[in-house]
Amino acid sequence: MSEERSLNFIEEIIENDLKEGKVKTILTRFPPEPNGYLHIGHAKSICLNFGLGIKYGGKTNLRFDDTNPVTEETEYVESIKADVKWLGFEWASELYASDYFDQLYNFAEKLIQKGLAYVDDSASEEIAEQKGTPTQPGRRNRCADRSPEENLQLFREMRSGIYPDGSKVLRIKGDMSSPNMLMRDPIIYRIKHAHHHRTGDKWCIYPMYDFAHGQSDSIEGITHSICTLEFVPHRELYDWLIEKLNIFPSRQYEFARLNMTYTVMSKRKLLELVNEGFVESWDDPRMPTISGMRRRGYTAKAIRDFCDRIGVAKRENLIDLGLLEFFVREDLNKTALRRMAVLDPVKLVITNYEEGRFELLPSENNPEMPETGDRLLHFGRELWIEREDFMEEASKKWFRLAPGSVVRLKSAYIVRCTGFEKDASGNLTTVFAEYLPESKSGSDTSGVHAKGTIHWISAPHAVTAEVRLYDRLFKVEDPSSEEGDFKSYINPDSLHIIHKAYIEPDLLKAQPGIAYQFLRKGYFVLDSVYSTPDHFVFNRTVTLKDTWAKEAKKG
């Protein structure tokens, strides 16, 4: 939405920094760890960082925070790049924290030489125990008394590979009585004999997040390093390291993570859903991942508008999934071509329409975009209609088909229902009707008023398709805050497959990424994974109306 909004607190800081000349041009970064696919929470961070770069004539880097060799994979790097591009953003430079391993190592030696870091041989339990508690100061062990020379030699030996994993760490000489536990001699290097996706076997010591992140910001000259609230306690160490190393003064600012109802948003949890088969893949259309949303038919514009609307908060909150769907509908209503599809078909026979005769009737592609014109639909004696559009015994408020009722067939004629037929087990098989020849759409002289309009497809021309309908992935609003395993709150009916629906033949042209509105049924998109030229599979992106809000009101 382009309406004017007031500045968020980060924009205020930036405008002030620019005005006071503290920075000439801004440089932000989006720093994903390549250990999973991006989700809608990351989209928030992407829109924020890249959006600021664009708004203030600056730039934004894409930096892979790949300092943990064990969990990172090239597959994730590729998916992250594809997702950022799809969202519509261009990075100034593609960078990797692992490219800075040499510089980071040199920074560590510098701290050792200044007497600000030491090698500790204690076991990790011991280190944890010596840290104290928030109300009790910690204490140092004898390793902290080592001379810079000894520390330097030990650190170089750590690097040379002679020590096993976990036998030594490099720690900052911070303040063991600081109220901020992160300042109590934090670990900045650990030994890990592991292969790294980019540096291979060159290193067996790896920097910890706190040592790599801020220093990478400085190396790149990031002016505003924006992260989420859980990093507030890290800011003291971030500033301390920049000061002691006397490097470019990047500044960290924190905003609230995006949390959304009926889903989970941590990569670890999403990976569990994939690995344990609750969903099929990272890009399962039910996933809150960017790739899942893309496959489901959400548009990049809808996601950007949503991120813009929710703004930048300083307090954690839970955003209604319905708000994202609102933006999806709003965008698709403008752009999606209208088509007819019958999801639960039943035959309608127009008994006074000649067998073997067909006519071509125009129907508009998108009333929101008159320039898209019309398409021609075959109309004939036998049509498919929705089973739910017929009722044997109808109330007064029923404006669709029932014995004796009149209804308009969209873009075609008014029909009067004359009867129906059921099979031996009582299932409706056929509805019969007569059409009013003077009631043709656009030149109706019948004088008959039909209160309801239904969609239909000429039976001999209809194409078969599979249609997948989705519901929310979890039964509860906030599965992460519920007791026990979040996976026990999965909605068992989040996927409903219709094996045989009928679609207009024009939909043979459908491509993944091109949205359609199936009249009265919602927005749909061809599935990029399961669809083949002989087997069409459509995903429902979103319904036309917010049925959940209605349900919630019912209680």
Its sign, for the CA torsion 77, 78, 84, 89, is: positive
Question: The tokens of 256 are what?
Answer: 């609230």
218 binds ligand ATP (CB under 6 A): no
Query: In terms of Cα–Cα distance, which of 91, 125, 46 is closest to 304?
Result: 46
99's CB contacts (< 8 A; 6+ apart) are: 198
User: Measured from the CB atom, is 33 or 121 closer to ligand ATP?
Assistant: 33
**Catalytic member of 131, 257, 269, 475:** 257
Question: SS in 3 state form for 471-490?
Answer: CCCECCCCHHHCCCCHHHHE
User: Measured from the CB atom, is 43 or 112 closer to ligand ATP?
Assistant: 43
310 binds ligand ATP (CB under 6 A): no
Restricting to residues 81-100, name those near ligand ATP by CB under 6 A: none
How many whole angstroms separate alpha carbon 120 and alpha carbon 168? 6
Q: What's the closest the beta carbon of residue 369 comes to ligand ATP, in angstroms? A: 34
Among 71, 130, 180, 228, binds ligand ATP (CB under 6 A): 228
User: Measured from the CB atom, is 316 or 392 closer to Mg ion?
Assistant: 316
42 binds ligand ATP (CB under 6 A): yes
199 binds ligand ATP (CB under 6 A): no
- The edge-to-edge listing of strands for the beta sheet with 453-454 is 453-454, 406-409, 414-422, 428-435, 345-350, 382-386, 457-458
Q: Which helix (H) or strand (E) holds 124?
A: helix 124-130
Return the amino acid letter for 414. I
In the complex, residue closest to ligand ATP by CB: 41
Q: What's the closest the beta carbon of residue 65 comes to Mg ion, in angstroms? A: 7
How many whole angstroms separate alpha carbon 11 and alpha carbon 254? 13
User: Measured from the CB atom, is 97 or 183 closer to ligand ATP?
Assistant: 97
**Catalytic member of 29, 184, 267, 440:** 267
User: What phi, psi does 2 have (nearest 5°)?
Assistant: -100, 5
Classified as helix, coil or strand, 193 is coil
Question: The tokens of 525 are what?
Answer: 């998109």
Among 188, 237, 258, 303, binds ligand ATP (CB under 6 A): 258
Q: What's the closest the beta carbon of residue 251 comes to ligand ATP, in angstroms? A: 15
Among 44, 146, 338, 400, binds ligand ATP (CB under 6 A): 44
How many whole angstroms separate alpha carbon 340 and alpha carbon 507? 9
Q: What's the closest the beta carbon of residue 42 comes to Mg ion, in angstroms? A: 10
User: Measured from the CB atom, is 228 or 366 closer to ligand ATP?
Assistant: 228
Kindly write out the interface string for residues 267-306 of this chain, putting x where it contacts ligand ATP by CB under 6 A and - elsewhere: x---------------------------------------
Classified as helix, coil or strand, 181 is helix
Catalytic residue status for 396: no
Among 130, 180, 266, 441, binds ligand ATP (CB under 6 A): 266
Whether residue 113 contacts residue 152, with contact meaning beta carbons closer than 8 Å, is answered with yes
32 binds ligand ATP (CB under 6 A): yes
User: Measured from the CB atom, is 44 or 338 closer to ligand ATP?
Assistant: 44
Whether residue 455 contacts residue 520, with contact meaning beta carbons closer than 8 Å, is answered with yes
Half-sphere exposure (Cβ direction) of 63: Cα atoms closer than 13 Å: 28
Question: The tokens of 341 are what?
Answer: 């599809």
309 binds ligand ATP (CB under 6 A): no
Own/partner pairs, 507-512, CB within 8 angstroms, 24+ separation: 507/339, 507/341, 507/463, 507/465, 507/536, 508/463, 508/536, 510/536, 510/538, 512/295
Q: What's the closest the beta carbon of residue 95 comes to ligand ATP, in angstroms? A: 14
45 binds ligand ATP (CB under 6 A): yes
Catalytic residue status for 410: no
User: Measured from the CB atom, is 42 or 184 closer to ligand ATP?
Assistant: 42
Number of residues binding to ligand ATP, judged by CB under 6 A: 15
- Selection from ligand ATP, Mg ion, none that 53 binds (CB < 5 to 8 A by kind) is none
Question: SS in 3 state form for 283-347?
Answer: CCCCCCEHHHHHHHCCCHHHHHHHHHHHCCCCCCEEECHHHHHHHHHHHHHHHCEEECEECCEEE
- Selection from Mg ion, ligand ATP, none that 214 binds (CB < 5 to 8 A by kind) is none
Q: What's the closest the beta carbon of residue 42 comes to ligand ATP, in angstroms? A: 5
Catalytic residue status for 267: yes
Among 81, 159, 257, 461, binds ligand ATP (CB under 6 A): 257
- Selection from Mg ion, ligand ATP, none that 257 binds (CB < 5 to 8 A by kind) is ligand ATP
What spatial distance separates the first Cα and last Cα of the chain, rounded to whole Å?
Answer: 31
Restricting to residues 3-62, name those near Mg ion by CB under 5 A: 33
383 binds ligand ATP (CB under 6 A): no
Question: Which window, 101-109, 200-208, 265-273, 276-284, contacts ligand ATP (CB under 6 A)?
Answer: 265-273
Among 27, 97, 265, 361, binds ligand ATP (CB under 6 A): 265
- Strand runs labelled E in 54-105: 59-64, 94-96
What are the residues facing 523 on neighbouring strands?
Answer: 517, 542
Restricting to residues 204-243, name those near Mg ion by CB under 5 A: none
Active-site annotation, residues: 33, 257, 267
Chain residues in the site for Mg ion (CB under 5 A): 33
Chain residues in the site for ligand ATP (CB under 6 A): 31-33, 41-42, 44-45, 65, 227-228, 257-258, 265-267
